[in-house]
Amino acid sequence: MDKHILHSVLETLTVGQIVNLGFNEPFSSLTGDYKVLVSKVGRGRNGSRVIEIAPISNPMNILSAIEVNGRTKLLGSATSELINSITVNGKVHDAEPAEESVQPRRRGRPAGKTAKNLEEKQCAKTSKQVQCERVAKVLSDILTENPQTNFKFVAMDPVSPINGEWKVENWTFNEGVLKMNLTNMDNPEIKQEFDSEIHGIEVKDAQIIGVEEEV
């Protein structure tokens, strides 16, 4: 899809809006309806537009980046070659002419279905890793500054066990993974173990609700 057209369309998006994205091969399995979680200007001088979206069918599987030829790219105008169409408020914006596949097949040796599926799974896994690592880094930075920080977590799923206000009893941050032992501030009998590799993808919002002074 034309990068400038896509950029213009992404500029109009608002948080909470529902859009339909059509992806080119080998990422066609990602095509579907999404809820916009973030739409902002990316870093750098080129003013690229980046978005984070969640599938309507699986809101916990946040898509914010795609791995292309071994490199992770943030989803947005910088990945316009991966997107075939975007439908916003019933209006379809599509590629013209059709884009060539990002990873063309080799002559005389068509790509098998198994290889394609593996590549798509890798893409989905990458987007989850980006979300989990980001959550771990942000929370660990806050705890490093003040280990007595308490958090309120809002999850994608309203029945997720991480929802609520929590006191951080202890925590560790090793090799990009944050683990915390939490006590519910409304009911101290409720305990929760937080592992960013497991729960990072669930976090929709994290708020600092109080900082206890060290004795």
pLDDT of residue 100: 41
Number of helical (H) and strand (E) elements in the chain, helices listed first? 3, 12
Statement: the pTM of the whole predicted model exceeds 0.75:
no
Which pLDDT does position 213 carry in this prediction?
A: 53
Report yes or no: 19 and 31 within 8 Å, Cβ to Cβ: no
Cα dist from 182 to 56, 159, 188, whole Å: 30, 17, 9
3-state secondary structure of 184: strand
Tokens of 121: 């799974």
pLDDT at residue number 185: 93
Write down the pLDDT at residue 119: 47
Domain parsing of the chain, residue ranges: 3-104, 135-211
Helix, strand, coil percentages, rounded to 5, for the chain = 25, 40, 35
**pLDDT, tens digit only, all 215 positions of the chain:** 888 888 889 989 999 999 999 998 888 889 999 999 988 887 655 668 899 998 988 877 888 888 888 888 889 888 889 999 999 998 998 865 434 444 444 444 444 444 445 444 445 445 677 788 888 888 998 899 888 889 999 988 888 899 999 999 999 999 889 999 999 999 999 999 999 988 888 888 888 887 655 54
pLDDT computed for residue 2 by the predictor? 85
